[in-house]
Structure 1
Amino acid sequence: MAEARLYFDWNAGAPMKAVARARFVDLLDRPGNGSSVHAEGRAARAVLEEARRSVARLCGTEAKGVTFCSGGTEAANTVLSPDWTLFGKPYRLDRLLVSAVEHPAVARGGRFPADRTEFIPVDADGIVDLGFLDRRLAELATAGERALVSVMMANNETGVIEPVAEVARIARAHGALVHSDAVQAAGKLPIDIEALGLDVLTLSAHKIGGGQGTGAIVRGRNGFAFPPLLVGGGQESWARAGTENVAAVAAFGVAADAAVADLSAMAEVAARRDRLSATLRDIAPDAVIFGERVPRLANTLSFAAPGVAAETAVIAFDLAGVALSSGSACSSGKVTASPVLTAMGVDPALVKGGLRVSIGAETSDEEIAAFGLRARNVFAAMKKQHGTAAA
Structure 2
Amino acid sequence: MSEVNEILKKVTASIEEATGKFNAKAEEALSEAKKTGKLSAETKETVDKMASEFNALKEAEKTLKSALGELEQHVAQMPLANAAKVTETIGHVVINSEALKAFAASVEGNKRVSIPVNAALLSTDVAKDVVAPQRLPGIDTAPKQRLFIRDLIAPGNTSSPAIFWVQQTGFTNAAKVVAEGTTKPYSDIEFATKITPVTTIAHMFKAAKQILDDFAQLQSTVDAEMRYGLKYAEEQEMLFGDGTGVHLHGIVPQASAFDPAFTVEHQSGIDDLRLAMLQAQLARFPASGHVLHFMDWAKIELTKDSLGRYILANPSALTGPTLWGLPIVETELAAFKGKFMTGAFNAAAQLFDREEANVVISTENADDFEKNMISIRCEERLALAVKRPEAFIYGSFSAGS
**TM-score in terms of structure 2 length:** 0.22
Higher strand proportion (structure 1 or 2): 2
**TM-score in terms of structure 1 length:** 0.22
Which has the higher Rg, Structure 1 or Structure 2?
2
